[in-house]
Amino acid sequence: MRNILIVGVLLVTACSSSTVIRSSDPDAKIYVNGEYIGTGHAHYSDQKVAFSKNEVEIRKEGCRAENYSFRRSEEADIGAIVGGLFLTVPFLWVTEYKPRHSYDFECESSSI
């Protein structure tokens, strides 16, 4: 029973990937896929399959928003690769995000 629980926990955690997103402006708000996740720097995690794309928007009041993106194809996930050899399904999660993403944010006036 204990071994089944351990294998179950490993399979679930092998599916998730996370990254820290940092803005050069500590007061800028960070949104991933339209959802607010923090100001200045934030932690993002998901269980999307390999090669999924995420849209990052950095905003600050009075400034023009800046847009970036990153994909879940930046690093290999050894745990999912090994699990995929035995169960096939973990092959959907064989890649993960880099540990950190840093973006330069320069406030350009949003008024035209």
* CATH of residue 61: 2.60.40
What is the pTM (predicted TM-score) of this model?
A: 0.67
pLDDT digits (tens, 9 = 90+) for 39-97: 999 999 888 877 889 999 999 999 999 999 988 876 666 666 666 666 655 555 556 77
pLDDT value at position 95? 66
Per-residue confidence band for 101, with pLDDT thresholds at 50, 70 and 90 = confident
pLDDT over 80 at 104, yes or no: yes
Which of 30, 36, 74, 37 shows the shortest CA–CA distance to 52? Answer: 74
- Are 53 and 69 spatial neighbours (Cβ–Cβ below 8 Å)? yes
Q: Is residue 4 part of a domain?
A: no
pLDDT over 90 at 105, yes or no: no
Q: Is residue 2 part of a domain?
A: no
Cβ-based neighbours of 62, under 8 Å, separated by 6 or more: 107, 109, 110
Tokens of 35: 């959802």
Cα 1 from chain centre: 33
Structural domain total, the chain: 1
**Alpha-carbon distance values, 53 to 38, 95, 112 (Å):** 19, 12, 31
